[in-house]
Amino acid sequence: MDFTEDFEEPDEEEIKLAIIGRPNVGKSSILNRLLGEDRVIVSPIAGTTRDAIDTRLEVDGQKFLLIDTAGIRRKGKTTEMAEKLSVIMARKALDRAHVAVLVIDAVEGVTHLDASIAGYAIESGCSIIIAVNKWDLVEEKDTSTASAFERNLRDKMKFLDWAPVVTISALSGQRVLRLLPLVEKANEARNLRITTSKLNEFFERNVLQPKGGGGSAPGKGGRSKLQVRYLTQAGIRPPMFVLFTSGGGGGGLHFSYLRYIENRLRAEFEFFGSPLRIKERKKKTKRTVRR
Ligand SMILES: Nc1nc2c(ncn2[C@@H]2O[C@H](COP(=O)(O)OP(=O)(O)O)[C@@H](O)[C@H]2O)c(=O)[nH]1
Ligand SMILES: [Mg+2]
């Protein structure tokens, strides 16, 4: 677990944002759109390395640092090279980012490369907003087009079901500026700490007395008598929870149970666009001391 972020003291209010995605999905166009908006105050600052230029934005009092993901422009770059580079740039940016906007091409839909970049984003612990760009190119749209697209996208990226989706057009500017409030909200969620009393109450209702009765939690291999003793929040950025268990032999909690806890946490608290980490820790069973 990496808690280093809690110890450094950067500009507290500044949200570090990475716009990531495969080549030609429109990352640069989105960036240019953001920089070109009247409401946006822009100040380019030199990054730490020669090729990295980060940009500061301020919109309605909120500061953002746009992490550069442009990479090296070179003529005659093969598609394969460009794709590899987009992954490298994404990973570099994700290292420093709080929130990632994952850009998908509306015409091409979700590809393997999109899914693999998404995987790195989840690993990094960033909050994620999915931007479906080039929405202007989707023909004969009606009221159900966006939701149909989203269903298909969700199906291909099941592991990202908590990330909000927004359809945009960097070409026309449609909804591009709407990304920023979503980014802000997703960043807040990533910093969310649930109070102990709220978490205890959550535990009471969802673990000890869930609908259909409490009792043992399902362990791997169907072993019973595995008990979940308590739940704590161990950290933020992203929020991390620990379920303390006892009994039940060697296996841990079944992944479906961890999934259940995650879904309940998401249903009851505002973890909008933020990944959650849920871990299990076994409590050593106390031996009764004979007197
Ligand atoms: N129709 C349309 N074209 C777009 C849109 N966004 C970007 N493009 C075009 O897609 C191509 C790649 O865009 P670019 O921003 O360079 O993508 P990047 O490689 O992800 O940075 C360019 O020709 C853009 O003009 C959009 O919303 N609609
Ligand atoms: Mg670009």
In order along its 291 residues, the chain shows pLDDT tens digits of: 555 555 555 556 899 999 999 999 999 899 989 988 777 777 655 544 444 578 888 998 999 999 877 655 666 678 898 899 899 999 999 999 999 999 999 999 999 999 999 999 999 999 999 999 999 999 988 989 999 999 999 999 999 999 999 999 999 999 999 999 999 999 999 999 999 999 999 999 998 876 655 555 666 655 457 888 999 999 999 999 999 998 877 778 888 999 999 999 999 999 999 999 999 998 876 655 555
Whether residue 201 sits in one domain with residue 141: no
Residues 6+ apart with CB under 8 A from 49: none
Atom 26 in ligand 1: residue holding the nearest Cα: 134
Which CATH number is 27's domain given?
3.40.50.300
**pLDDT the model gives residue 26:** 94
**pLDDT the model gives residue 44:** 59
**Residue 142 near residue 185 (C-beta atoms within 8 A):** no
Whether residue 237 sits in one domain with residue 94: no
Whether residue 67 sits in one domain with residue 149: yes
| Structural domain harbouring 203 | 196-282
Last residue of a domain, one of 190, 206, 230: 190
**pLDDT the model gives residue 106:** 97
Distance 106 CA to ligand 1 centre (A): 11
**Residue 224 near residue 248 (C-beta atoms within 8 A):** yes
Last residue of a domain, one of 190, 205, 239: 190
Note whether residue 288 is domain-resident.
Answer: no
**pLDDT the model gives residue 207:** 87
Whether residue 179 sits in one domain with residue 217: no
Whether residue 34 sits in one domain with residue 105: yes
Which CATH number is 275's domain given?
3.30.300.20
Q: Which ligand 1 atom sits nearest the alpha carbon of residue 103?
A: 20
Distance 28 CA to ligand 1 centre (A): 7
Whether residue 13 sits in one domain with residue 123: yes
**pLDDT the model gives residue 208:** 85
**pLDDT the model gives residue 170:** 96
Residue 242: in which H helix or E strand, if any?
strand 240-246
Does the predicted model carry a pTM greater than 0.85?
Answer: yes
Whether residue 165 sits in one domain with residue 231: no
Distance 172 CA to ligand 2 centre (A): 17
Whether residue 263 sits in one domain with residue 148: no
Distance 89 CA to ligand 2 centre (A): 11
Closest CA to 105 of 127, 71, 138: 138
Note whether residue 240 is domain-resident.
Answer: yes
**What is the best residue among 20, 22, 24 to mutate for testing ligand 1's pocket, by most ligand atoms within 8 Å of CB?**
24
Whether residue 156 sits in one domain with residue 112: yes
Radius of gyration of the chain (CA): 22
- Number of domains making up the chain: 2
Ligand 1 cavity residues, CB under 6 Å? 21, 23-29, 133-134, 136-137, 169-171
Q: Characterize the bridge pairing of strands 53-59 and 41-46.
A: antiparallel
Whether residue 75 sits in one domain with residue 172: yes
Last residue of a domain, one of 190, 218, 252: 190
